[in-house]
Structures are given as C-alpha cells and as structure tokens.
Structure 1
C-alpha cells in the first residue's frame, strides 16, 4: 500500500520513491529510513528505534545517521535548515512532520508495528562490484575509484534481497582475469557490476554496467555526471545515484531471468520475484 505525503509517494511493494510523479533514485537504506519515518508520522522516533529498524541493531556512528537523514531530506525536497518534513529533536531523535495518507482510501497512516524478523530464503541472487576503471589523464580523482567500489558494495549489501561479495575478493578476482565469465564463476556470483570514471573540464562522468556473469550479457547500463567539487559529497552523491539505479535494475534482471525458468525448479525466493510485474 503506497504512502502519500507532500509531493511524494513511497511504494513499499515496488520499493520506490516518487516525487511529483517522477522516480527519485535513492539508496535502499535511505528509502528504508524514509519508509520507517513515514509509517510513524508525528511521533518522536528515537535514534535507538531508527538504528533497530534500519540498521538491524548494528552499532552505527552519529555521522552515519546524520548522513542518511541528510540524504532522506534531499530525496523528498527537504533540508536541514527548513526541516519542514523531517525535524531533528536534538538529543532525542527525529519527527516526521508531513501528513501521511494511505493510497488505498486516503486515511491517515497508522504508526508502524515493531520490526519483525523475516526469514530470508538463501537462494538469493548474488553479485560482485568490480573495481571501477579510471579513464582520464588527470590523476586528481583516481582516489575515488576504491571508494566507489567499497561504497556501492556496502550499499547493495544492506539490501537483504541479495548476496554481495566483499570488495576485497572482487578486486582480487578482477586482478587475475579480465574475463567476466571467469570472474563470475570464480566468485560464484550471478551478476557483476562494472564501471568507469572519467574526469575532465571540471566534470566527472561515471558509467556503470550490470552484467549476467554466466552469459556475459549486459542487462543494464547507466551514466551519471556531476560537476567536480567537494570530493566526499561528490562520492556520496555518485554512490547514492548508482545504488538507487542498480537496485531496481537487479530486480528487473531477476524477473526477466525467472520468466525463462520452468516454475517447477524455482526456489521460494524465485517464486516471490516472479510475481513482480
């Protein structure tokens, strides 16, 4: 059931945020945070509650929480100065100020129930993010490469729907072979993410590809451009855009793959995915 507020709609089933009818690329963890806040409108959500719901109780720094809140505000057209939709209650937590309506009947959304542990099937699609290539003469932004691979790997790894190989193993495999099928087989993954970074004339361009490892077929590609600026904010923005685009691309690739499979051999997770339109 979709949740509507201000100019935004969150569709939990599609795991998608729209603003003014347009899909907003957003990191999965940031969307989880928004969904949790939107299902608790008007209520003070403590930091402990947020950590339990979004980070599954793991230890996270204040800086990490602050960066995700900042990204959430940006995604819905808010900011830390105005705080018209997400307010910070200093020393306590956060409050979602927007009026939230259930899409079905327009009634106000009820506060969310406590998080429930869900048994995730083990037959999940697996992937590895390979080191990005640097395609520029100017070495100034070369250091972004390792950060991009690590951050995209970490961001995708937070989504429980699929398994992600750690960036060290992916880098080691890519160092001994440039054959994507061989790399995929060696890592035992279904998909590979490859990409490149170009720098020039004060702009950065990142190109990413999602490849089915067994066949070597590219199932998705995307390009992201940005003005060169603050390197940390730049890395965060590029990473967020990549993860926001890759997550739905993975689901679409899986749905496509499963349509070609015989239903009798589908695992429980595959059966669920096949129902995705």
Structure 2
C-alpha cells in the first residue's frame, strides 16, 4: 500500500516547489483527512481543496461538490506522487463499485472512497484498525443513536420481507389458475419481489452482524470491574486515588 519513490536529484526550482508543498523526504504527499458535520470525510491535501471549500458549493450542489474533491481530480493522483499509489486507488474504487467493500456496521455500499483510504492510512501509519463505515452509521455513532436506528432499520426490513413473502405466495398460488401464456405476466413481478426479499434478508444479516461487532467493541471498553478493583474504588480516599499505581511513574508535573 505504501508508495515509496527513489531519491532523485532535483533542480533548484523543483526543490523550492516541493519545499513549499507537502512532500516528505521520499517526494511523497501524505494525505490528511477531515470529517464534516454530515460525517463525510475529505482529504485536505487535495490540490484544489481550499478553493473548492471556499466556493460554498456544498449546500447548492452537494453531489458535484463531492465529485470535485475526489482523488481523480487531484494533481497528486495524476502525477502518482501520493502516499496511495494511483493503481491502488483505482483498485479500491473498482472494489467499492462492485460492492466488495461494505460498511462494517450495516453492510451498505461505501459511497465515499475516502472512508476506505482513511481506514488504510490509520492501519499503515498508526496500527489502528479503524473500521470502514458509511456516513449514516458514523452520524448515528456521533449522536449515540446507532443501536436504536439500526434496530429500527432491521424491523423495517423485516416488515418489507414479510410483505414480499406474502405477495410471492399469493402469486405462486394464482399461477396454477392461468394458462402457460398468462404465466409470463406473473414472472416479472415474481422476480421483482424475489429480488426485494433477497435484498431485505441481506440487509437484516449485515445489520445484525454490525450490531454484534459494535457491542463487542463497546463491551471490551466497558468490561466489568474485578472484585479487587471494586473494593479499592469503594474504600480508597480521594488523595489515594490521585496517586499513580504501583510501578507506574507519572510526569514531573504530576501533583500528589
């Protein structure tokens, strides 16, 4: 994934150009990501980022705004001097459009490639396994409503599934009352509701899987305290609580 280039001797003009830009010692641009209020990630190292942001296009033309801030419109992508090689970005984009990369919490398609690139960057640079999630799930996590909204979505998909099964059953029963020529009229809606049923089953499965993953992470953070920890917390006074644990050393600025 990491894009390295051999060190080359550059002209003074090129050195000055790179010095004023964001190139590192390997002549590679390290991307930096930011997330807006809608949970949509953007790369601030995109060559026209400041110009596009200052144009205030997002509210009027949100889709065009996002297209202008993708990798394909960036000079670093065209020059192939980004941390992510152009071939790797193309591969990620191809997998994303083929639905090979899904939201880890709901299973829906990832609409923004920066969600994937940001996850890969954190994994490579910091060893942090940042899950790839869609903007809807991110907004739910930010607002603390992920569990309730995912449960509601599962219920809606389940109702849709039951409705599809009902209509499929009714059409299946009515097929025997028609002639073979009339059955052609039944095949199209039959196939449509079959597709809807299959889609709902997949959505319920991915949402259930995402909720389990979310609870697994939260339970790891909120593990139950041992009896020894509970006893210490109950009977330790405030001054003792401020002291570092045995064998630990705080910075010189720490006050007992």
Q: Which has the higher strand share?
A: 1
* Structure of higher RCO (CA pairs closer than 8 Å, 6+ residues apart): 1
**TM-score with structure 1 setting the length:** 0.20
Q: Which has the higher helix share?
A: 2
**TM-score with structure 2 setting the length:** 0.21
Query: Which structure has the larger Rg over C-alpha atoms?
Result: 2
